Structure 1
Amino acid sequence: MITIFYAFFSLLTCVSGVTVVTQSPLITVRKGEKAKLDCNLGTVTSDAARWYKQTPGGAVQFVLMFGYGWSSVRYGSGFSAPKFTSTHSSKSDYSLIINNVDVDDSAVYYCQTWDNSVRFCTAEHMKCIAVVIGQGTKLIVTDAAAAAPVLNILRPSREELSSSKVTLVCLINHMSGPFADVRWLVNGNSVTEGVFTGSAEQQPDKKFKMSSSLTIESSEWDKDTQLTCEATVASKTTSKSIKKSDCSD
């Protein structure tokens, strides 16, 4: 997801090189535990790693920077020890440690370093900056005390009912965290065709919301098929079902 950082690193217009920073794609931990996110810098010339945090729809935040042989960690605004720290086992293997995790720590964390073989060039200054970014680790923090999300399904519009396909929209509200595992089921069977799920958006109350849609043949709707939206957030699962006979004209 290097494109996420284009705006962040300011007008980056040219890319070359193939160096890869490796991160685990997903880590799930319980609230109150310690999360350890690993990053391998590959064959790079830098002896330091920077970590960034991004929640869906939110700005990229600089968490910290730590280098091989450094005596201390350099922190971004709003991040500090002992909650956040970093370790390394070699010049290329680094870890971001998050202690006593909370649901608010759920996000994608990106590991970044520098390498002369990969250059992002700024058109504004015609200056090449050697930047290499990992694909990110999604951290999901589960909370046994968190409330389950609230689901509502919007039925097809009147205009759609006369067409060959209809779309149902599942609104997922009051999410305790920014990530949800969303499934659609047709008569109890999980389906993926015709499914589109958007990203979460944070609300003023710090909760998140998102939506998912299912497009099916109109004939399937006319057969009074039971359609179910199921969402799991921070280990809490809830579902909502609908069929044509449930809807009054």
Structure 2
Amino acid sequence: MEQAPEFWQRYEAAPLPPPFTAAAPAAMPDGRWLHLPLRDYGAVAVTGFIANQASFSVLRPICAWMAEAARDLGAEVVVGLPTLGHVFGAPVAEALGHSNWVAPGYSRKKWYEEALSVPTSSSTAPDARRMWLDPRLLPRLQGRRVLLVDDVISTGSSAHAGLALLGKAGVRPVGLCVAMAQGDRWRVEWPQDVPVAAAFATPLFRRVEGGWMPDEATRPAIRLPLREAA
């Protein structure tokens, strides 16, 4: 069996040339490039990023860029969404000067309450399941400025579940911070009072002869960190 190329392990000094076939380049705030696999969805393709398979040398700058992008939101506590948002929750919270963070999960503990859970699915994990919040962590959230953190926003389904879960705790977040904002499909129903920050953004890709080309009209215009933040 032919071994698939290993992604998310290093940054590149130059981007791949178009048209793109198996992978496409994503521009980083410091001028480097991260080559990401393309996922073929028929009419469009999207870039993939599996954060818990990435190298520490790739993740470390992304966490710093995320924190810089979200810093002016004035968050007092970070909530990292499961599963891959947990990769970023702790380091982003630490970079923002916090002493801890809050981690909802998909596993119910004996003392969890049904009222602090919501159904959820995502574009990469379509099977429905429930997201749970430990009731013992409510004092960390209530009356505080809360920042949601996740790995990617694509269709927005998992982020909406995070909003719903915080709503059950009586909290409206000051923003959502992600590593990668992917395309513009999530914008359709996203609330305008919850700004989205990201380390980097990628468009959708349209099929052309010989591969795929970025549809720049779908590249999300979200707050990005300054180049100096790298």
User: Given the two structures, how large is their TM-score scaled by the length of structure 1?
Assistant: 0.22
Please identify which structure carries the higher strand content.
1
Higher RCO (C-alpha 8 Å, min separation 6): 2
